[in-house]
Every structure is written in structure tokens, then in C-alpha cells.
Amino acid sequence: MTKLQVIERIRKDCEEYGHGRKKWWAENLGIHQQTLSYWLHGQRTPRAYQVQQIFDRFSIMNKPEEAQAWASLLRNSYFNHQTINQQILVTAIKTILSSTTVEVRTLAFLSYILEVSDIEELYDSNSLLRNRLGWLLEMSGKQPNFRPAKTQYKPIINAPGSFSNPKTIAYLKKTQTPIGKRWHIYDADLSQIKRSFIGRLSTDR
Amino acid sequence: MDDYQQIVEFLKAIDEAIEEAVALYVIGGGSITLALDHLNRTEDIDVVGVGQNIIDLAGKQSELAKKYNVYIQKISEIGFTAPRDWRDRAKQINLGLSKLSIFCADIHDVILGKLARMQQKDVDDIMSLYEKNYLDIPYLLQRLNDNKKELLNIEYRNNAKLAFEQIFNKKLIFREGQAKLT
């Protein structure tokens, strides 16, 4: 993706979400809002590492509806004691983790089914999504065959309040687990929710 | 089949299995799923003061739980940190059952219960209910002030502040034992 294409995607995203989105982007990229305005008006261009950062950010910006649809599919299979294809499970996991944030019950459910599945490897070329996959593998008692990429800390859970608010950051740091810290993710403990699941979602190959 | 349908089927199975009338007072995520948001997810149905016969029949180790992947979780009366009169405000849900009566705690009382723990799943629930416009904030404040015993607990007050300030964008202060919005 070129610099111009990246800027165009940000412009479209800001138009779609409306008020406050430029601020959101500036916070996420760790830049001043004015810098973003310069980019959007063609007065300056982002540096190569910033283009990569934006490109990575888009990898975890799926619409929540898409994640919900996949989560519902897995949930229905679980309730109906159905066997699910392993490749479908991998696609579901990657799509759900590509949402900006995910409800903790869904994360616990994914971790629970991954734990009892034969899946040992999950990978993506985008560093933010790859870190999330590594995090999920480790939360599910599996050993990823890649190391955490050095990225900004991003929340995978829903934060109460704006990410720029110090109280929100304090909350996220309080709930973060050591595994989340290693993978540069603001997460929460899943073990208690996982203990509440009783069924088993089996997979085939 | 979604969580709501699954829970309804599970409750119908309990209804068919019992011989005498039983009232279940549901709190927590189960109450949200049954009374308000059918898309809400929950693994267990928290019931206050449920009898051992129901736990034997539909608790975590039961055959019904294995069949439906949902179960009844017993919660003690003091384990639900809502005002004392919460049962009076609970709403009866009509699921076409003959022996089982289902009462769901008022959603504002459910939130007051969640403020005691304020784990991430509680934050998710409160945010979701607020975003879907299910909450009446002045009424929630009134119920918070009815929850006198909990207001003495500093951690509870801090969690209430977190919810009001960070999720509802309302600044909450405590003065003379009362919660007020500024």
C-alpha cells in the first residue's frame, strides 16, 4: 500500500466515522492532530514506518458485525455439539481478533476452544494482528513459534473511556496480564470465564 | 440457536422435570439475556437463593447442563450487592412455563451488583447496556443511593465513579453519604 493509498483510507475512515475520528487516529498513531491534517491536505506525507504503522492498524479494524457473525457461528456449533472444520475455526479466530476491540467473553470462548483444539499455529504478516494471535495461543496454553513484535500497546478489550484519558490507561494497566504485557496488548484475565464453559467444540481437519 | 433460545430450551427442560412450583430470581448476565438483550452472551444463569433440588437437576455437573451447555449457578443473598428491595422490582418473564416462574432483576439493580466486582466482563456488560440505551441514569443514581450499605465501601464507591465518569460521562461525587452528579 502506497503513502497516498494509506492517506486515502484514513480520509474515508474519518468521513465514515465523523466527529472525533481524526483525534482517534492521532492518538492511535502517537502523532499530533495537526500532523494528520497536514497529511490529509497533502502538505506533508507520513514516513515509511508510519505508513507501516497505519497499515498494521487497519489489520485490526474489522467491523464489529463481522466478528459477531463469526462468534455466533462458533457459539451455535458449541450449543449444538457440532464438529467444526479446523480451517473455519482459524478464519473465525483471525476475523474476530481483527476487530478493534473484542468482548472479554468472546476472547475467553476463543481461548477455550483453541485450548481443546489441535491447532498449534496461527500467524499473520501484520504485526498487530500477529501479536494478538501469539497472545491468544499463549492464553490457551500453546507455544507460539514467533516472538512478540515491538509495537505500541493496544487494547484488545473494551476500555471504559477514551484511550487518551489517563484514568482509562490506569484501568487498562491494572487489568493487564503478564501475557498481555509480553505481547504489547492491554488484555484481561480470561481464566475465570473459561472455567464457566462446560461443553466442548470439537474440530476436524 | 443463540444464547437466549438455548436458555429458554434449558428452562423448559427444567420445567418439565420438576413436580412442584418453583420461583427463580435471576440476576447477572442471565437476567440481561432473558429480559432485555437476547443477543447477550452468558454461560451460567445466576440465581439467588435457589434450592438444592434445582442445583442437582440443572447445576454445573448436571445432565441438563451437559445437554444444553448452560447451567444454574447458586448465588447467596449477600452475594448480590443490590438494594434490599430488589426482589420487589424484579420483572416476571413469561416463557410459557407451567411450574417454573422466572423473575429477572431490574437491569439497574444488576448493574449495582456488577459494581461490586467490576471485572472486564462487567465493564463490557455496562458499556453494552449503555450504548443500547437500556439505562436510565437518574434512576440508576437513585438506586445507587438506595444501596446504603455498599456506599460505605470505598472500593464500591470507586467502581461507581469509574462507571459514571468513564462510561456514562457523568462526574459523580460522594457527599454526606450520598452520591450526586455534578
Q: State pLDDT tens for residues B21-58.
A: 999 999 999 999 999 998 888 889 999 989 999 999 99
Helix (H) or strand (E) holding B93: strand B91-93
Please judge whether A103 and B165 are an interchain contact, meaning their C-beta atoms are less than 8 angstroms apart: no
CA dist list (Å): B90 to A61, B51, B122, B168: 39, 19, 20, 24
Q: What is the predicted pLDDT for the residue at B2?
A: 82
Q: Which long-range contacts (CB under 8 A, 24 or more apart) does B55-58 make?
A: B57/B14, B57/B17, B57/B18, B58/B10, B58/B13, B58/B14
| Contact with chain B for residue A145, Cβ under 8 A | no
Burial class (CB in 10 A: 0-12, 13-18, 19+), A20: exposed
Q: Please, what is the Cα angle at A177 between A100 and A88, to 5 degrees?
A: 45
B65: cell is 447442563
Q: What is the predicted pLDDT for the residue at A151?
A: 87
Q: What is the predicted pLDDT for the residue at A58?
A: 87
Helix (H) or strand (E) holding B175: strand B172-175
Please judge whether B121 and A193 are an interchain contact, meaning their C-beta atoms are less than 8 angstroms apart: yes
B75: cell is 448465588
Q: What is the predicted pLDDT for the residue at A1?
A: 67
Mean pLDDT by 10 residues, chain A (205 residues): 85 88 88 92 90 86 87 91 91 95 95 92 93 97 95 91 84 96 97 90 77
pLDDT digits (tens, 9 = 90+) for B71-122: 999 999 989 999 999 999 999 999 999 999 999 999 999 999 999 999 999 9
| Contact with chain B for residue A185, Cβ under 8 A | no
**Rounded to an integer, what distance in angstroms lies between the CA atom of residue B80 and that of residue B3?**
23
pLDDT digits (tens, 9 = 90+) for B129-139: 999 999 999 99
Q: Please, what is the Cα angle at B39 between A71 and B4, to 5 degrees?
A: 105
What distance in Å separates residue A111's CA from the closest CA in chain B?
15
| Contact with chain A for residue B69, Cβ under 8 A | yes
String of DSSP letters for B22-51: EEEEEEHHHHHHHHT-TT---SEEEEET--
| Contact with chain A for residue B123, Cβ under 8 A | yes
- Residues across chain B: 182
Residues of B (158-177) whose Cβ lies below 8 Å from A:
162-163, 165-167
What distance in Å separates residue A158's CA from the closest CA in chain B?
7
Q: What is the predicted pLDDT for the residue at A199?
A: 83
**Rounded to an integer, what distance in angstroms lies between the CA atom of residue B77 and that of residue A24?**
43
Please judge whether A168 and B166 are an interchain contact, meaning their C-beta atoms are less than 8 angstroms apart: yes
Q: What is the predicted pLDDT for the residue at B68?
A: 94
Q: What is the predicted pLDDT for the residue at A27?
A: 85
Please judge whether A171 and B44 are an interchain contact, meaning their C-beta atoms are less than 8 angstroms apart: no
> Which of B44, B68, B163 lies closest to A196 in CB terms?
B44
- From chain A, pick out residues whose CB is under 8 angstroms from the CB of B127: 158, 160
DSSP A163: T
pTM value is 0.90
- Residue B145 — pLDDT band, cuts 50, 70, 90? very high
Q: Which long-range contacts (CB under 8 A, 24 or more apart) does B60-66 make?
A: B60/A198, B64/B10, B64/B13, B64/B14, B64/B17, B65/A198, B66/A198, B66/A199
Closest C-alpha among A10, A27, A21 to residue A155: A27
| Contact with chain B for residue A72, Cβ under 8 A | yes
Please judge whether B43 and A197 are an interchain contact, meaning their C-beta atoms are less than 8 angstroms apart: yes
**Rounded to an integer, what distance in angstroms lies between the CA atom of residue B168 and that of residue A110?**
29
What distance in Å separates residue A59's CA from the closest CA in chain B?
23
Helix (H) or strand (E) holding A85: strand A83-85
**Rounded to an integer, what distance in angstroms lies between the CA atom of residue A71 and that of residue B82?**
32
B72: cell is 444454574
What distance in Å separates residue B165's CA from the closest CA in chain A?
8
pLDDT at B1 over 80: no
> Which of B42, B127, B162 lies closest to A171 in CB terms?
B162
ipTM of the complex: 0.91
